[in-house]
Structure 1
């Protein structure tokens, strides 16, 4: 059962001091994430709260990706508008609620601070909600609590300060007094640990934070409240929450779905239809219908909508009709619904990148590829190099998790998936999202050579088996069974090596580049053996042309060789190269921050399933790697 708390009125904040980039609302500062502003900490609210009092104004720019929309069962994706287009911006809620004064050391919920402020404020109407939290006595700026509690189901709440002070009080447990007032201070000793942080109640109860971060610290006297502050609701939850620092990375893991807009969805006609006013009006009308009623309504209006849209954008009405029929009527059939994993979803993208799809004879507006002559590269194991001069990627924030990273293998994990909180209500027809336009290099490796290498190297299989063993012991494996193959580890490691080297050659930082792995699991009808490295920046930096230039025959072979030579030795060797498991939950072998790891925004797998031993060999077996022979001959 979900309990909705009383709705609170909105307060407009300064758009200069309280703003983030559009891309950040889909990545680290998405729905349910805390944002540290200069004067306070806020949490991004659910998209249902983004609309202003004037509901006629849409708070987001509509972004369309037909393929991704069908998989996620939404009509569009919403990118927050610029403050000049939509003055209210996106909505935030105040969390955490507990603030303390660094001068008088009083520590209490924000609603009590606001009550004190309203009693003495000279101009109550001007700042009745205390936009900038201050102590009314000391005039000092208040500081938000540095620790909160979160559970593996995605809930989050303030640390139970009053309960902790009385339960853990020196001398034994005390009953909570009638009017508890807490002060937060450092102990008299010089200790800088948790035992030096003291909380004291006016009734005499006093304790420190020693042991607060233990996994079972709250088990005996506290359970999860099921609080979801981003949408002001609570639900039943019997999990034992963990105490975490407010800024810890495990407090918020976004679950993103990513899609390349490929032919035939990337042509100019599709783009014109998506951006037409009449098409968006059609989507608004469709929202009132469900199931068969929706199909019947669309069929009855299709001819009229076709003529109206064709007249607005001035293109052939039959082309408009075909696109509308494909977009609006149920092509969401068994074939579409069966696409649940990233691997299956990417089969179409792989075909587009390799050129194995029909050419539709339409103007490709968002996807321009140039196939290169592989014979000019003299790089073993590579079948094809394709330069993507123009590509559009759509990213959607479909959910988030806390304490444990979300499943990266499935593209459409529902809220019922372990620990995943959806960013929207079920009746809402859009997810927060944004689009990136950029360039990239696609490299297609030889499946035959990879399979031959695996078949004749039992140690390759053994190293992969070790990673699969480590994965089987993780909590994620219980909810998302997955078999990691030697081919996947090789492709993933190659992508990391090339990104690190390209950052030195093309002018982009590693954080501005992103990987996309195309590797089959053996269950699909098609073999995939490619990596796509492209610009991940959401602004004009992503279209400068520097990356594509590095893909030509006079550059790429040298870049590959430099990357492989650099992989032969890590500054942490021999510890790194001989590792039996390192990184998060021991899901890497020979891979650390000095040799392989990338910024988290660049890696699809949260920097796991990496092993440079499979690429260049190890100290004990230098012939193990796929490229060991090529390096020894050079």
Structure 2
């Protein structure tokens, strides 16, 4: 990657903000109409972002703010990309070489031609055939997150069909198919026209193929999104460039809740003075420095109050709260305390004056009108803002539970250590929150020993999995029940309110220890800056939700894959599900808190052998 950047076509090379953070985030490849590019690290596009804040998430991730890519209309360049993979071939003459060689050829032949001379050949094409070049579909990646082009030159000489030979002085490759071989990998033929070496792609995707070929084929440590290389002792693995295992993003999300969603709070975060004092708040290692900051907050609050036309005392109190959050330790999004703050806001434990301002507006409903057993609170969330940050990614193996990749082998941060922000985007939407009676859930578990047996199977399978020995997780029957029920409700709501299942998300609130909670939030995962139109909230009123609830329970009783599904002792990733498959419970993974794991509809509606073990086995299923 060079520092010489050029603006690409705004129509053909545009991605949505959410895509630039999720599936096409830092280190991911994206197929544009004329070439394949990789999203560069944020250090290359930090002047093309909108600054957004969520002070809880900022503290949890150790940053000062978040950057939403390409939000401003006056951005001249947008976010940055690098060309990867580097190898392209011409579909007509079948010549196969790195993009730099294609550009060199282009410059030699076009430099003397007046008119449309494009120094960097933004649209790669063959100057002889006038055909658009095609990026190679095969790359190599290692478990430490490095990625590089397949070693084409070394492969064709090492795997020469007539015996291995040394790499010639001037390799000239062609890429084609063998007329006599089958349609498999052995039918893909690489030739070196300079020395007549020929090799098929047979065996290229074997996991240990490069290890067998020797140390010369170890990972190159290439990090094209950073324009860097590092030492690596791993052997790479060949993958199709579009394979899901090439890029696993790690997203940390947080709801912006009161008092952090207060309108004055939001105005403070947008002020120029706030960004100046935020940097100084971070630098308070000694007691003398802390005392100096206490005195400076008076000065800062006065300046900000004038800038945003607010009460100086109110601004001062908010600045002190923000500073106290910065001082906290062991504050992470996967901690029970972090979720409990959201649970308190959703259950009305925040003063109404705070709830009815800014980006968090709720309405408490009369639960007696719903007649749904086990539910003790229904809250309609008319407005909510969620911030989602890309903290990093892994390759080959999926990421663990930690947002910052702690104890996750091969986790790659999306930013450099001294960069004070993560790429992120925000969505505004609406939701339905259901709080469950914890005492009823406890009586259900104590009265049905079989539910403990089923949850123990999932727990044992989790302990045997890759991450089971690294992280601890409460896989009690209550949690599995709440998680499965959330999936069933999302599937049913997607039919009733018009949103696709991928547009809805779940958020599970469960803890049985120092901060007991049991609840489900189903909310929209998209929406413009003004929020959504109320379609989901409308389904939460007492004339709609009970009907949807009954249909969700009734549809869970039978799966198209029964009896195989409900009698399973482990299915899905690492056998972390029991009675749950794509026909009955699973959702798009972006909608699920747990990547479609820890699900069992038997804990909701029972099994064929024992129909009464489900929490809602006796629930009326007549559809009104």
Q: TM-score range by the shorter chain?
A: over 0.9
The alpha-carbon distance between structure 1 residues 241 and 296, as it changes in their structure 2 partners (threshold 3 A), is farther
1:3 alignment counterpart? none
2:254 to 259, 269, 279: 259
Deviations 1:494-532 (A, max 9, x none): 111000000111111111111101111x4x411121110
- Cα drift, residue 360 of structure 1: 5.5
8 A Cα contact 1:535 1:542, kept in partner = no
Cα shift readout 1:145-198 (whole Å, capped 9, x = no counterpart)? 101111121111111111121222213322111111211111113622111111
CA distance in 1, matches of 2:168, 2:381: 67
Does structure 1 residue 128 correspond to structure 2 residue 119? yes
Deviation at 1:294, TM superposition (A): 6.9
Report what 1:307 is aligned to: 302
1:59 Cα deviation (Å)? Answer: 1.4
Please tell me the root mean square deviation across aligned C-alpha atoms, in Å.
2.2
Is the aligned partner of 1:456 residue 2:447?
Answer: yes
What SS class does the counterpart of residue 629 from structure 1 fall into?
A: coil
Using the TM superposition, name which of 539-548 and 38-47 deviates more.
539-548
Q: Which residue matches 1:235?
A: 230
Task: Provide Cα deviations, 1:254-290, integer angstroms capped at 9, x if missing partner.
Answer: 111111111111111101111223323444x649957
> Are 2:599 and 1:610 equivalent residues in the alignment?
yes
Of 517, 526, 537, the residue aligned with 1:528 is 517
Q: Output the CA distance in 2 between the equivalents of 1:223 and 1:616.
A: 52
1:131-210 equivalence runs, <5 A: 131-189=122-180, 191-202=182-193, 203-210=195-202
Show the counterpart of 1:337. 330
- Pairing partner for 1:214 from 187, 206, 223: 206
Alignment partner of 1:570 is 2:559: yes
Q: Does 1:544 align with 2:533?
A: yes
Which stretch of structure 1 is more off in the superposition, 342-351 or 556-565?
A: 342-351
**Residues 251, 290 of structure 1: CA spacing in aligned structure 2 closer, same or farther, 3 A cutoff?**
farther
Sort the Cα spacing of 1:355 and 1:614 in 2 relative to 1 into closer, same or farther, 3 A.
same
Alignment match, 2:24: 29
Matched, 1:226 2:234: no
1:296–1:272 CA distance, 2 compared to 1 (3 A)? same
Contact 2:245 / 2:396 at 8 angstroms: preserved in 1?
yes
CA distance in 1, matches of 2:481, 2:555: 16
* Equivalent runs, 1:157-556 vs 2, <5 Å: 157-189=148-180, 191-202=182-193, 203-220=195-212, 221=214, 222-283=217-278, 286=280, 291-292=285-286, 295=290, 298-299=293-294, 301-327=296-322, 329-334=323-328, 336-339=329-332, 341-359=334-352, 364-408=357-401, 410-414=402-406, 417-520=408-511, 522=512, 524-539=513-528, 542-556=531-545
What is the Cα deviation at residue 63 of structure 1?
0.6
Measured against aligned partners, the alpha-carbon deviations of 1:460-512 in whole angstroms (never above 9, x if no partner) come to: 12221222222222222233343422112111111110000001111111111
Shift of 1:363: 5.3
Q: Is the 8 A contact 1:341 1:412 kept in 2?
A: no
Change (3 A) 1:8 1:510: same
- In 2, Cα distance between the equivalents of 1:232 and 1:114? 19
Whether contact under 8 Å (2:65, 2:421) holds in the other structure is: yes
SS of match in other structure, 2:299: helix
Change beyond 3 A, Cα 1:432–1:545: same
Change (3 A) 1:87 1:7: closer
Q: Is 1:81 matched with 2:36? A: no
Mapped to 2, the partners of 1:468 and 1:193 lie a distance apart of 41
Q: Which whole-Å CA distance do the structure 1 matches of 2:230 and 2:291 have between them?
A: 37
CA distance in structure 1 between the partners assigned to 2:104 and 2:285 by the alignment: 50
Q: Which residue of 1 aligns with 2:106?
A: 117
Cα offset for 1:593?
1.3
Distance 1:120 1:453 in 2: 78
Distance 1:239 1:617, change over 3 A: same
Q: What is the rounded CA distance, in whole Å, between the counterparts of 2:267 and 2:19 in structure 1?
A: 27
Q: Spell out, residue by residue over 1:289-341, the C-alpha distance to the aligned partner (whole angstroms, 9 max, x if none).
A: 574497466445423321111011111101111112222x353345x424462
Supply the distance in 1 between the matched residues of 2:384 and 2:422 (Cα, whole angstroms): 21
Aligned partners of 2:281 and 2:293 also within 8 Å = no
- The CA distance in 2 between the partners of 1:541 and 1:566, in whole Å, is 34
Deviation track 1:558-593 (CA, whole Å, cap 9, x = no partner) reads: 101101111111111122122222222222111111
Aligned residue for 1:392, secondary structure, equals strand
C-alpha distance in 1 between matches for 2:507 and 2:166: 56
User: Kindly tell me: are residues 574 and 363 of structure 1, through their superposed partners in 2, closer, same or farther at Cα, counting changes over 3 Å?
Assistant: closer
Distance 1:83 1:542, change over 3 A: closer
Tell me the distance in 1 between the aligned counterparts of 2:292 and 2:202. Answer: 63
Distance 1:187 1:84, change over 3 A: same
- Please say if residues 213 and 244 of structure 1, whose CA atoms lie closer than 8 Å, have aligned partners that are also in contact: yes
Return the alpha-carbon distance in structure 1 between the equivalents of residues 157 and 34 of structure 2: 30
How many angstroms apart in 2 are the aligned matches of 1:502 and 1:361? 29
Could you tell me how far apart the structure 1 residues matched to 2:117 and 2:292 are?
A: 50
Does the Cα contact within 8 Å between 2:482 and 2:520 map onto a contact in 1? yes
Structure 1 position 83, deviation (Å): 6.4
- The alpha-carbon distance between structure 1 residues 237 and 482, as it changes in their structure 2 partners (threshold 3 A), is farther
Structure 2 unaligned residues grouped into runs of 5+: none
Report the count of equivalent residues: 616
Bigger CA drift: 289-298 or 353-362? 289-298
Q: Quick check: 1:83–1:89 contact (8 Å CA) kept in 2?
A: no
1:412-468 CA-to-partner distances (Å, cap 9, x unmatched) read: 434x63221111111111111111111100011121121222222222122212222
Residue 620 (structure 1) aligned to one of 609, 615, 618: 609
TM-score, length of structure 2 as denominator length: 0.94
1:93 CA drift (Å): 0.5
Q: For the residues of structure 2 that align with 1:246 and 1:586, how far apart are their CA atoms?
A: 27
Q: Deviations for 1:333-373, whole angstroms, at most 9, x for unmatched residues?
A: 45x42446243310100111111234556852111111111
2:596 is aligned with 1:596: no
Deviations 1:63-91 (A, max 9, x none): 11111111111111111134632021000
- Spell out, residue by residue over 1:73-128, the C-alpha distance to the aligned partner (whole angstroms, 9 max, x if none): 11111111346320210000111111111111111111111111111113599411
